[in-house]
Amino acid sequence: MHNQGILIDDTFAEAFPMAVSRLVITADSPRLALQAAQAATGLAISIIGCACEAGLGEILAPEQTPDGRPGQAILLFSYSAEKLEEHLFLRIGQAILPSATSACFNGLDAEKTARVGNRLRYFGDGYQSSKQLDGRRYWRIPVADGEFVLEESYGMGEGVGGGNLIILGSDRAAVLEAAEAAAVAIHATPGAIAPFPGGVCRSPSKPGSRYKNVRASTNEAYCPTLVSRVATQISPEVRAVYELVIDGLSEEVVGRAMAAGMRAAFRPGVLRITAGNYGGRLGPYHLHLHELLKIYPG
């Protein structure tokens, strides 16, 4: 398939189930809410290294938040509920709690929950207090600018991770511009994130390495400088390759985000768009590029 002169491979992105939570962070101003959210999602780039992938969700108006203040939603994904609970505890406690004027609420109703507030309350050193409203328990921890309010439990649902797009082109600046436009479109899809810096990854990886104990390594088949030395997946005129990884609350969300990302990347300088998979062995969700463009016409 060609679109605006760009080849779109007849292939699929291979995605897999992930545990997911959604947090609603509020503060006295949108700037402070965003600051806490950015801290909480820091270095949550890839489950390869930190077992968590996270990103910013929607900006929330005061009428959309539990305490009537400006808010910022974030999504956190991990490969198991147990590991996700660990990251919720660390990121709420280490990033959100110390952020000025912040509060943290559950943003995802799910059968499975993590009792994070029940553990973090001990930071109050005996001065913490709790209140139950509409069947939900909240903890109030005294801090130096007032109180940090958080919920006792946070929902952990089943999301989808590993959706991806690989954008190839003849000019690095042009391909980067296309990839950044794709990241903006993905971010605008409710329930989806692209966890790499700015949503764009310059280092597509493959499982394993020739070096012992290295879990992942550079995917040499997509490195333009190695075209003459390896079994490459790129043609000689390609000078740059960028990947976007997409996680979402469902298979449909990831598919919509991928379709939106592809359309945003239809720009001069882009030669080809493809996706990474392992022949169907990695995960049960197979997101075919051609089908996505037909199902979600934009």
Model confidence pLDDT, tens digit, residues 79-101: 999 999 999 999 999 999 999 99
Residue 226 to residue 33: CA distance in whole angstroms = 44
Residue range 156-172, pLDDT digits in tens: 999 999 999 999 999 99
Residue whose tokens read 């989806």: 192
> b or e along 22-42 (b: 16 or more beta carbons within 10 Å of the residue's beta carbon)?
bbbbbbeebebbbbbbebbbe
The one-character DSSP state at 10 is: S
Q: Any idea which of 116-130, 255-269, 277-291 has the lowest mean pLDDT?
A: 277-291
DSSP three-state, residue 90: helix
Question: What pTM was computed for the model?
Answer: 0.94
Confidence of residue 217 (pLDDT cuts 50, 70, 90): very high
Question: Per-residue pLDDT for 183 more than 80?
Answer: yes
Residue range 46-81, pLDDT digits in tens: 988 889 999 999 999 999 999 999 999 999 999 999
Structure tokens at 82: 């147990």
The closest alpha carbon to 161, from 92, 263, 83, 270, belongs to 83
Residue 51 to residue 215: CA distance in whole angstroms = 13
For helices 251-264 and 172-187, the axis angle rounded to 10 degrees is 140
Summary mean pLDDT of the chain: 96
CATH numbers and ranges of domains, the chain: 2-14+159-295 (3.30.70.520), 18-157 (3.30.70.520)
Run of H or E including 242: strand 240-248
